[in-house]
Amino acid sequence: MRTGAAAPIRERAFHEWLARHLPAGRSGALPLGDDAAALPSRRGRIAVLTTDSLIEGTHFLRDSPPERIGAAAVAVSLSDLAAKGARPAAVLLAIIVPPGTRAGWVRSLVRGAERMARAHGATVVGGDTKPGPTRTIVSAALGWGTAGQLAPRTGARVGDVLVTTGTVGRGGLAAARLARAPRPGLAVLASLLDVRPRVREGRALAPWAHAMLDTSDGLAESARLLADASGIRVVVEERLLPLARGVQSPSRSRAERWAIAFYGGDYELLAALPPARYPSAARAVRRVGGSLQRIGRLERGSGAWLDAPDGRVPMPRTGWRPFERARSR
């Protein structure tokens, strides 16, 4: 007989355990399990903190360009800050590599990380290096948010509209290209690490949003997270999705299109806001060079649903679930 302690780890179940057992899960400025943590500071500013990691074999491959690995390691943390409307300030990097790793590889990684940080107003201020069996890059980022504009996942309300920045399916297309390449070249490997944190869009959108999160794990999984956190039903209208070019190829079946569109790795922002605020929010996002598209609504009920041309169905059970994927290798 298996006990809960002996069962394999599942990411969302572990997050729920953390929320029950850590004081921050009950008293933090943001609920534990959101994209980032938040601590009050002076004069209404909120310190927003987050951490993430990239691991060889899970997030990048042996021959992936180190500059792109470093940039992506910073970008995934900046995306979490963007989901809280925070202004990035500083990044820490922990670099774990096997003994014998070339110094040039690590230097290139750091140069890529610093370029990404500086592009969004931050800088790499320090970190750590350690030997280990697998190349792993851990990033921690600090940003400054505004009290009352953190858009927690728990904040969505009945009647809100659901919006997304950018396009849907860019990460899935990169994964599909990798699957078709027996010996992937640098362009394919780099596309897997093409993370574009929507920092400017997040700061523009946060004042209008009730709830916001990034779509690193895919739009379907993010919709489920939003529904569960807010205790509400999330409905996505398939016809409104701003699909990335190539997702709607005539040669793909519906199941293939959904698998690509909802795969994960888009790092866009998914937000809930009152319908009356949508025009102003869209203008604010356009002013910083981004795009905002209404893709659904929030209703009484539970779960995440997809309004397809032939009726409403549960959101496809796809999206990035790292522990399940690691076991399937």
Decide: helix, strand or coil at residue 57. coil
Which phi-psi region, left, alpha or beta, contains residue 59 (left: φ > 0; alpha: ψ -120 to 50)? alpha
Decide: helix, strand or coil at residue 235. strand
Sheet holding 45-55, edge to edge: 37-40, 45-55, 136-146, 87-97, 124-131
Query: Looking at residue 74, what is its pLDDT?
Result: 97
| DSSP tag of 319 | S
- Confirm whether 33-146 and 153-328 share one CATH topology: no
Pairing relationship of beta strands 87-97 and 124-131 according to DSSP bridges: parallel
Strand partners, 235: 297, 305
The Cβ-side half-sphere exposure at 172, using a 13 Å CA radius, reads 27
What token pair was written down for 6?
Answer: 């002996």
Please state, in angstroms and rounded to a whole number, the distance separating the CA atoms of residues 235 and 223.
8
- Where in the chain are the domains? 33-146, 153-328
C-beta atoms surrounding 122 within 10 Å: 23
Report the alpha-carbon angle 149-150-155, nearest 5.
95
Please state, in angstroms and rounded to a whole number, the distance separating the CA atoms of residues 93 and 6.
32
**153-328: what CATH class?**
alpha beta
Pairing relationship of beta strands 304-308 and 233-237 according to DSSP bridges: parallel
Which residues 6+ apart lie within 8 Å of 123 measured at CB? 90, 91, 114, 117
Query: Looking at residue 127, what is its pLDDT?
Result: 87
Domain 33-146 has CATH 3.30.1330.10: yes
| DSSP tag of 160 | P
CA dihedral 265, 269, 275, 279 (to 10 degrees): -110
Decide: helix, strand or coil at residue 282. helix
Q: How many helices (DSSP H) and strands (DSSP E) are in the chain?
A: 11, 12
Query: Looking at residue 14, what is its pLDDT?
Result: 62
Which residues 6+ apart lie within 8 Å of 227 measured at CB? 233, 234, 302, 303, 304
Query: Looking at residue 2, what is its pLDDT?
Result: 46
Query: Looking at residue 188, what is its pLDDT?
Result: 85
Query: Looking at residue 41, what is its pLDDT?
Result: 75
**Which of these, 192, 157, 236, 248, lies nearest to 56 by C-alpha position?**
192
Residues of the chain with pLDDT under 70: 1-12, 14-15, 17-18, 21-28, 319-329
Contact 91, 80 (CB under 8 A): no
Report pTM.
0.87
